[in-house]
Amino acid sequence: MKCKLTDALIRNLKPQPREYTLRDAIVPSLGVRVHPSGGRGFVHIGGGRRTSLGPAAFKTVREARKESLDRLATVNHDRTPAPLFRDFAAGPWRDSWLHRCKPGTIRLRSRVLENRLAPAFGSRPLDRITPVMVHRWFDDYSRTAPGGANSCLKILRHILNHAVACGHIASNPARSVRPNPRRKLTRFLSREELHRLHGVLDRHENLGKITRAQRMQIDVIRLLILTGCRKNEIVRLKKQEVVANSLRLRDSKTGPRTVFLNAQARAIIERRIPGDSAFVFPSPRDPGRPLHDHLALWYVIRKEADIVDVRLHDLRHTYASHAVMLGTPLPVVARLLGHSHSTMTLRYAHTGDRETETAAERIGGLISELLEMPTSI
């Protein structure tokens, strides 16, 4: 059996009639052996042998992991050199997650590996990559693209953590690198800004020389506001995913989900259903493909609406924030947005401060009344 060992977990392990061993999910060469008497001891597992590392009562999991890795590193050093970064990343690391990731994630990680990580570390053995080297790479990248550097660092850490688990290195040299601070983007449109945006969309829609692609872009923008969907969920929407008054998305960011449509959203989609393409918004040049996800018209529209700091994704924030301000419970908002964890929805909670203040006054008044009630002795 394998799990992530912790000091608390080991203390709570129950003895059984027969001795058993739990393997560590972080360092697979480490295990904890539980005796029928209740005694617990760490063991190093490697080369077909189990070597005792001493009672678990006298050392922490962290210390035991280091000791097991040190033993593994010594054995590996005597046998074979550590693989090159590029070979390990393209082989064992990629194989460890490929079967459970979506095509978009696979493309992203492959692109980062090919364009960013392999040029910097590819020709080096894993055990020759140092913290100083990683810091220097990260600082250089951060000067031009701090957000991109953060994303690449996350993938680099993932690769090197797997190298630790496989016993090629004793610790992750990227562990001490701190990501660049990022401004939390919770921008959403006020009622007045929504009114201006609506007016600009109407004006462009009524222009005499508007192209088919621009008209579709306007409909996509309206649907983003009305549904809170992600951009690609609308741009790549297939007609077979439109079911009655809902969208049955087969492959959203968090997996299959249902989006319930209001009357305005239904009207937009219904007028897009006719046609031979499988997509609700087909490419004007190739109906067999969806509309290009770069909505160039948005940059013109947001400038005219005087909201140049608003991204398309902020329309999703707008949908969520106004839902919260209307008193919609956060778990419901989470389901509307298709969040995999309700904690992701908490970023919108600040927009409901007025409702929170009202609730605090109401609860305070009730408690005050209870405190003033006479008590019987």
Q: pLDDT by residue (tens digit) across 36-80?
A: 998 999 998 876 678 899 999 899 999 999 888 888 766 655 556
* Domain final residue pick, 46, 79, 112: 79
Q: Is residue 366 part of a domain?
A: no
pLDDT-based confidence at residue 85 (cuts at 50, 70, 90): very high
Q: Would 268 be classed as within a structural domain?
A: yes
- Give the per-residue pLDDT at 2: 73
Domain boundary among 79, 105, 127: 79
* Residue 96: inside a domain: yes
Judged against a pLDDT cut of 70, whether residue 82 lies above it is answered with yes
- Section 278-305 average pLDDT: 92
Residue 217 has pLDDT above 90, yes or no: yes
pLDDT for residue 352: 55
Matching residue, tokens 């053995």: 125
- 174 in a domain, yes or no? no
Q: Which residue has the higher pLDDT, 185 or 336?
A: 336
Considering the domain architecture, whether residues 72 and 94 belong to the same structural domain is answered as no
In-domain check, residue 54: yes
pTM of the shown model:
0.58
Considering the domain architecture, whether residues 111 and 127 belong to the same structural domain is answered as yes
Q: Number of folded domains in the chain?
A: 3
> Same structural domain for residues 90 and 156?
yes
Q: Does residue 357 have a pLDDT over 70?
A: no
**Looking at the structure, do residues 336 and 202 belong to the same domain, yes or no?**
yes
- Listed range (26-40, 146-160, 210-224, 321-335) with the worst mean pLDDT: 321-335
pLDDT the model gives residue 177: 94
Residues 313, 242 within the same domain: yes
- Residue 40 has a pLDDT of 93
Task: Work out the mean pLDDT of the chain and round it to a whole number.
Answer: 86
Which pLDDT band, with edges at 50, 70 and 90, does 165 fall under?
Answer: confident
The DSSP bridge partners found for residue 42 are 32, 54
Last-in-domain residue among 61, 79, 97: 79
- Tell me: pLDDT of 377 over 50: no
Q: What percent of the chain lies above the pLDDT cut of 70?
A: 89
Does 233 share its domain with 348?
yes
Q: Which domain holds residue 7?
A: 2-79
Q: Answer yes or no: is 247 within a domain.
A: yes
Give domain status of residue 245, yes or no.
yes
- Model confidence at 356, in pLDDT bands (50, 70, 90)? low
Q: Are residues 279 and 334 in the same domain?
A: yes
Q: Are residues 108 and 126 in the same domain?
A: yes
What pLDDT, on a 0 to 100 scale, did the predictor assign at position 87?
Answer: 95
The pLDDT of 221-244, averaged and rounded, is 91
